[in-house]
Amino acid sequence: MITAELQKGWAKSLLEAAGSAPAPWLEELRSSAGALIDGLPLVNRKQEAWRYTNVEPLLKESFQPVVERPSGYPGEVPEAITPHRLVFVDGWFMPELSDTALLPEEVTCGSLNDAIAAGDERVKNRLGSVADPGEHLFTALNTALVNDGLFLHLPAGVKLESPVELFWLNSGGETPLLAQPRNLVILEPGAEAVLVEHHLPGEGERYLHNGLTEIVLDPGAKLDHYRVQDESEQAWHFSRIVLDQGSDSRYHGITLAFGGHLARTEYNGLFTAEGAHCTLRGLYTVGDDQLQDFHLDVRHDVPHCSSREQFKGLLYGKGRAVFDGRILVAKDAQKSDAELTNDNLLLTRNAEVDTKPQLEIYADDVKASHGTTVGQLEANQVFYLRARGIDEQKAVHMLCEGFAAEIIEHIHLETLREQALARLRQTLGNL
């Protein structure tokens, strides 16, 4: 059972190792978030948000926050598919491993910590303005321990031709480490960018990644955001992505989740002006000793916005998946258009899924729907393929690929699409 003592004690031990902040204002932000922790509800099953996700074993582990930039990285850095590569180790930006030279001069792309230390006003103005640190224990913790992460800023009208690719790696070692990246992405009016994130184990095995990303899209800005979560199978991974979308902005997000012992991805979308659109898609696979958890919360606070959420899961072994999606249409947010679907394929006997797609609608002139399915492969589909001389294993793979293709085909970068497919095949090969 998660007791107040356990939760507070765990957080306290981490906060004690926080280290110093690069600026006084950040110290303030940190301590105000730290002060919230004791008053936060327990992350136990009595909380709706944690009903199906048990983090008790995590709170019984001790972690070492990484409070300084690692001096180096012992392993190989994977190859990038683009010229703009940013490498982070244990949540810290590693300039010597990264290539940002080809980015246009007016674009700021690099370490959040460096930007703060250099007195960047843009960070000071926006950091913490989008994400509520009091959301739950892990967001409060992230804010209370802000150190480094990505800071990406595109001035008005700048359109990046090539994607910016981020690699999140872990250095490993004796004590399990806590990586706490905090990312801030600001696209000024009309700016466009593509962001690709790879969450990889690197040299680490047991570690906790607790990331929080704030994304500000000014009017007319467009961001394609691809995330491949392929953490170690002993790792805990938490990612929260919080969006603040201005008028006519577009956010197109895809998360592919393959790894992690317990991985939770949260999307929190907020439309602040009319005409914005947000698409969230996800594909997850879970096997033995794995739990993938997705929590989506898209708020239509203003009229004339649209959102699409589509998440699909393949479950095998004793894998567990949790999906909780909410669309909220506020009073007066007329002409909102929202759609949410979650489909799950249970490939084996002991896989489990808990899904909860919710609609909360306070306006009448809206289109809102959600749908969810849970089932196994259709026997007659397998039969159809077998009747054509395809062996059973191959038939199952084809059908699973077809199921997953609905998400993967929305990746507009060909190399990444191929990588994703190859990764999926690798998982299916283990079936």
> What is the Cα–Cα distance from 374 to 358, expressed in whole angstroms?
16
* CB-based contact 75:203 (threshold 8 Å): yes
In this complex, which beta carbon is closest to other proteins, that of residue 3 or of residue 369? 369
Interface with other proteins by CB under 8 A: which residues?
A: 48, 52, 331-332, 334, 344, 346-349, 351-376
In this complex, which beta carbon is closest to other proteins, that of residue 164 or of residue 302? 302
In this complex, which beta carbon is closest to other proteins, that of residue 234 or of residue 334? 334
Task: Tell which residue, 5, 120, 117, has the closest CA to residue 59.
Answer: 5
- Least separation in angstroms between residue 55's CB and other proteins is 19
- Least separation in angstroms between residue 244's CB and other proteins is 25
* CB-based contact 6:106 (threshold 8 Å): no
In this complex, which beta carbon is closest to other proteins, that of residue 252 or of residue 295? 295
In this complex, which beta carbon is closest to other proteins, that of residue 165 or of residue 343? 343
In this complex, which beta carbon is closest to other proteins, that of residue 124 or of residue 308? 308
> What is the Cα–Cα distance from 118 to 33, expressed in whole angstroms?
23
> What is the Cα–Cα distance from 170 to 354, expressed in whole angstroms?
30
- Least separation in angstroms between residue 328's CB and other proteins is 9
Q: How far apart are the first and last CA of the chain?
A: 33
- Least separation in angstroms between residue 314's CB and other proteins is 12
> What is the Cα–Cα distance from 401 to 27, expressed in whole angstroms?
48
- Least separation in angstroms between residue 302's CB and other proteins is 14
- Least separation in angstroms between residue 288's CB and other proteins is 15
User: Which tokens is 50 given?
Assistant: 């944690």
> What is the Cα–Cα distance from 172 to 202, expressed in whole angstroms?
8
In this complex, which beta carbon is closest to other proteins, that of residue 123 or of residue 345? 345
> What is the Cα–Cα distance from 196 to 198, expressed in whole angstroms?
7
Q: Is 15 helix (H, G, I), strand (E, B) or coil?
A: helix
DSSP 159: B
User: Which tokens is 189 given?
Assistant: 């009016």
- Least separation in angstroms between residue 370's CB and other proteins is 5
